[in-house]
Structure 1
Amino acid sequence: ETYIDHDSAGVDLSFLSGDQDRVFPLLKEAAQAAVFPRAEFERRKKRLLLELKQEKERPAEVIEAYFRKFLFGRHGYGNPLYGLPSTVKKISSREAAAFYRTHYRPDEAALIVVGDFQTPAMEEKVRKLFGTWRVKKGRPLFKAVPLPVHRTSRVLLVNKRDAQETTFIIGTIGLPMHHPAYAAARVVHTILGGRFSSWLNEALRVEGGLTYGVESYVEPYQSSGLFAVSSFTAAEDTVRAVDLVLENLERFDRQGVDAETLSSAKRYLIGRFPSRFETLGDLADWLALVFIFGLDETYAEDFLRKVEGVTAEDCRKVMAEHWARERLQMVFIGPGKALRDRVKKYGRLFEKDIREEGY
């Protein structure tokens, strides 16, 4: 299958070892001589346009796109991965082919092979198939767009007037994996909303009965990252839910984290980390991540060591220096008329309607 995210694109293949000589030539053809037949391309466009329209009916599927755009603005991390209806309609198969030839290049790619094989023979096979892959043009130049700096909280209210619930995200720009505080950020995330016994799940779901699901997440990118808390609740309970989220975010500074909670979170992170390497596919995914993010070969060991060394003060500093309350950005999707006066207390208010194109 193929995939795309905000830093990379690729293809995952899984096949029997005995099928190598059948699969690798197909991969070579797809990578080096990709074609975009007009009829098939137009069918995919038609299907994508329908998907873009339908997803607006499901706030949980689009709120992250709204949040990314609100958070990153004109930076590439704010762009929707699958475009907008107006842009999708304009793309031709010829333009797609030209884009592929320009941007999908051997000098910026990696071929990762994991499985049961003799390394010298595999190296020879790969070199024979892909060693002649060349590009005629130089690397395309892009005008760098700086990451935005948010010094105050802002609120985006997306009106979905028929909604009975509010879906919301609260967060800010996060940290890349190579940042010195990234391990502490993962520990903070685990304590806040990264497991069932997290502070947020206890406050909003177990004790508050306000939602069936709440989570925090930390997404690293090549040059930045994203930290967020997301949940949903009945429209009339929106303020109660958000206030509980903010109380728990501020808890790190107000009372800190106790030794048992900190130790438990670190054990949880360390204990789950090996699951990233359980299957051959998992290992290939990790090696791809190492390549895309430019990580050192010893990153996994170093990360676990850093997690073990995280202190309560490290957690407090992550919240104070990177995810401070006064810089949080918030996105709400729900009945605008009912929510407007309630959520404007959280920061400068911006409004959109979910029926409008874009995010």
Structure 2
Amino acid sequence: MRAARTWRTPAHAAAAALACAVATLAIASSASAQRVDWPREQPPPPLDRRAMVFPHYEIRSLANGLQVIYVGHHEQPAVSVRMILRAGTASDPAGKPGVAQFVGRLLDQGTTTRSAQEIATTIDSIGGALGVGAARELSFVDALVLKNDFDLALDLLSDVARRPAFDPAEIERQRTQVLNSFQVSYEDPGYLAGVVFNRLVYGFHPYGMPQGGTPESVRAITREDLVAFHRTHYLPNNALIAVVGDVTADEAFAGVERVLGDWPAGAVEPPAAGVETIPMPTRRLVVINRPGAVQTVIRAGHVALPRDHDDFLTFDLAIKILGGDGGNRLAGVLRTDRQLTYSASADLAGQLLSGDFLAQTDTRTEATAEALRVMVDEIARLRRDRVSRRELRGAQDYLAGSFPITLETPNAIAARVLEAMLFGLDLDTIEQYPQRINAVTPREIQRAAEAHLHPDNLSIVLVGDASTFIRDLPAVGFDRIEVVPVAELDLTAPDLRRGGRRGQ
């Protein structure tokens, strides 16, 4: 059967065209009336908050002083085992930065019972992961495996943590790799800005030294240094271990007792450098000159709060408003308003003895002075002017709303629990984080900013082509400037120049 066809006369066609035009104009008019300019000034409303219930946990101590934390998490047939030692790069021997990280690099590169190849083959054969290393306050060994391989993971972790071989040939191989990595790092303006910033903020305290050491210090590290660090700090009564995942509490504690219960305790040495050696915030501007650079890396901040300070959460929220998740005034001004950068941020890092506040961005070289002035002005504004309830609520909604996502895996839970234990925090504060964040008021934000933010005493680092912007800095209020050629940079010298007097 043929489809029926409709024939139209010219009059019909004209009428249809007119009707179509009228309809089109009506639609366009309606769309124009509803048009929204992008980007919107207001973000979409946050999703409904998810109720968060922290998994059941237990804490026990073995006879040798090892603290064991168990957290049940049965959504996946996996187990995360994480051990941390309360000794990291801040415990490096005086004058030898880099020892802790060197030890950490060697832990899985052969033990007295397994070769490096055997360790790698064993963990790979079960589809697991083994990690080792050192950070500022801690050294670590961790393993992630399926539930059926829990006992094997414990065996490996115990062997790697307790019996590293420190084979001379492996030491030299790792030393070569580290020295080669310095050549790459010293070409990275972000790395240079970071290590110089830490040096300005913390002075000659171990917090101020590069965590991986310097080329000179790494060349000087001996096998005896590595063995001594391990013998001194890798002790059960200086360690924490978290077992998180699809095992019972009895299985977790029995497994740890089996492989680590006979680990002898020892005398734990306190840090050689105390908080009294960390300088007070002092205004200083250092330019690391890299001729020909087309961008300038900007870092500004000062010494701040230790992680267990009562004001840490409130001040951290203030810094989030300045340049973090859920807020970020710096990005709004530097990127959106001024088009001076692609990104800008601010962060608060808390350690055992102290901490630091850091604001950072990159900008095109000729805009260096303007970007720096804007950044410092925003820091001062946060201290001077009370934040609005609307701005605070935006940051709170983001942080409280996204928090449950950060605790969805055994690894994430283990890391959060061990962090709390390391810094002496109550584990209940983990589950209560959303409520504690949402309870902060604008008045409390202003009080914390006034007490702990010091815009007149910022340590500032600029890494870029000094010849392009150095003359612009006095015009925007920065007239005391130190310029250090990148080829002459020496982090152990008070003036940061090679050939200068060495620090203590």
Is the contact made by 1:71 and 1:329 (CA closer than 8 Å) also made in structure 2? yes
Supply the distance in 2 between the matched residues of 1:125 and 1:30 (Cα, whole angstroms): 16
Q: Deviations over 1:155-182 (max 9, x none)?
A: 1111112212110111111222322222
Is the contact made by 1:171 and 1:228 (CA closer than 8 Å) also made in structure 2? yes
SS of corresponding position for 1:310 = coil
Is the contact made by 1:175 and 1:225 (CA closer than 8 Å) also made in structure 2? yes
Deviation at 1:80, TM superposition (A): 0.7
Name 2:453's counterpart in structure 1: 323
Structure 1 residue identity aligned to 2:216: S
Question: Taking every aligned residue pair, what percent have the same amino acid on both sides?
Answer: 26
Distance 1:81 1:204, change over 3 A: same
Name 1:115's counterpart in structure 2: 245
Name 2:161's counterpart in structure 1: 31
Using the TM superposition, name which of 124-133 and 335-344 deviates more.
335-344
Supply the distance in 2 between the matched residues of 1:266 and 1:110 (Cα, whole angstroms): 32
Name 1:127's counterpart in structure 2: 257
Deviation at 1:269, TM superposition (A): 1.5
Name 2:379's counterpart in structure 1: 249
Distance 1:154 1:117, change over 3 A: same
SS of corresponding position for 2:425 = coil
Matched, 1:350 2:490: no
Distance 1:218 1:271, change over 3 A: same
Name 1:340's counterpart in structure 2: 470
Name 1:298's counterpart in structure 2: 428
Supply the distance in 1 between the matched residues of 2:384 and 2:213 (Cα, whole angstroms): 42
Is the contact made by 1:253 and 1:316 (CA closer than 8 Å) also made in structure 2? yes
Name 2:231's counterpart in structure 1: 101
Structure 1 residue identity aligned to 2:405: S
Deviation at 1:141, TM superposition (A): 6.2
Deviation at 1:92, TM superposition (A): 2.2
Structure 2 residue identity aligned to 1:349: I
Name 2:365's counterpart in structure 1: 235
Name 2:179's counterpart in structure 1: 49
Structure number, greater radius of gyration:
2
Distance 1:264 1:37, change over 3 A: same
Q: Deviations over 1:122-177 (max 9, x none)?
A: 21221121011114555366253524343542111111122121101111112223
Deviation at 1:347, TM superposition (A): 6.2
Supply the distance in 2 between the matched residues of 1:283 and 1:118 (Cα, whole angstroms): 16
Runs of at least 5 residues in structure 1 that lack an aligned partner in the other structure: none
Supply the distance in 2 between the matched residues of 1:306 and 1:255 (Cα, whole angstroms): 23
Name 1:210's counterpart in structure 2: 340
Supply the distance in 1 between the matched residues of 2:423 and 2:442 (Cα, whole angstroms): 28
Q: How is 1:301-316 mapped onto 2 (pairs within 5 angstroms)? A: 301-316=431-446
Matched, 1:164 2:318: no
Deviation at 1:121, TM superposition (A): 2.6
Among 373, 376, 399, the alignment partner of 1:269 is 399
Is the contact made by 1:167 and 1:233 (CA closer than 8 Å) also made in structure 2? yes
Is the contact made by 1:45 and 1:88 (CA closer than 8 Å) also made in structure 2? yes
Matched, 1:79 2:209: yes
Answer 1 or 2: higher relative contact order, Cα 8 Å, separation at least 6. Answer: 1
Supply the distance in 2 between the matched residues of 1:69 and 1:136 (Cα, whole angstroms): 33
SS of corresponding position for 2:143 = coil
Distance 1:143 1:183, change over 3 A: closer
Q: Tell me how large the CA RMSD over aligned residues is.
A: 2.0
Using the TM superposition, name which of 89-98 and 143-152 deviates more.
143-152
Supply the distance in 2 between the matched residues of 1:215 and 1:8 (Cα, whole angstroms): 26
Deviation at 1:333, TM superposition (A): 0.6
Distance 1:141 1:328, change over 3 A: closer
Among 318, 331, 340, the alignment partner of 1:188 is 318
Distance 1:108 1:336, change over 3 A: same
Supply the distance in 2 between the matched residues of 1:147 and 1:274 (Cα, whole angstroms): 38
Supply the distance in 1 between the matched residues of 2:276 and 2:464 (Cα, whole angstroms): 31
Supply the distance in 1 between the matched residues of 2:209 and 2:405 (Cα, whole angstroms): 31
Among 339, 348, 354, the alignment partner of 1:224 is 354
Is the contact made by 2:192 and 2:463 (CA closer than 8 Å) also made in structure 1? no
Is the contact made by 2:294 and 2:365 (CA closer than 8 Å) also made in structure 1? yes
TM-score, length-normalised on structure 1?
0.93
Deviation at 1:234, TM superposition (A): 1.0
Using the TM superposition, name which of 294-303 and 220-229 deviates more.
294-303
Using the TM superposition, name which of 260-269 and 280-289 deviates more.
260-269
Aligned positions, number: 359
Structure 2 residue identity aligned to 1:53: Q
Name 2:417's counterpart in structure 1: 287
Supply the distance in 1 between the matched residues of 2:479 and 2:357 (Cα, whole angstroms): 18
SS of corresponding position for 1:355 = helix
Distance 1:148 1:248, change over 3 A: same
Supply the distance in 1 between the matched residues of 2:224 and 2:379 (Cα, whole angstroms): 49
Using the TM superposition, name which of 195-204 and 216-225 deviates more.
195-204
Deviation at 1:7, TM superposition (A): 0.9
Name 2:145's counterpart in structure 1: 15
Deviation at 1:306, TM superposition (A): 3.1
Name 2:80's counterpart in structure 1: none
Supply the distance in 1 between the matched residues of 2:287 and 2:280 (Cα, whole angstroms): 18
SS of corresponding position for 2:242 = coil
Supply the distance in 2 between the matched residues of 1:260 and 1:39 (Cα, whole angstroms): 60
Name 1:155's counterpart in structure 2: 285
Distance 1:298 1:198, change over 3 A: same
Is the contact made by 1:84 and 1:357 (CA closer than 8 Å) also made in structure 2? no
Is the contact made by 2:326 and 2:397 (CA closer than 8 Å) also made in structure 1? no
Name 2:8's counterpart in structure 1: none
Matched, 1:64 2:194: yes
TM-score, length-normalised on structure 2?
0.67
Runs of at least 5 residues in structure 2 that lack an aligned partner in the other structure: 1-130, 492-504
SS of corresponding position for 1:304 = helix
Is the contact made by 2:205 and 2:273 (CA closer than 8 Å) also made in structure 1? no
Is the contact made by 1:160 and 1:354 (CA closer than 8 Å) also made in structure 2? yes
Name 2:70's counterpart in structure 1: none
SS of corresponding position for 2:178 = helix
Structure 1 residue identity aligned to 2:447: K
Name 2:128's counterpart in structure 1: none
Using the TM superposition, name which of 1-10 and 142-151 deviates more.
142-151
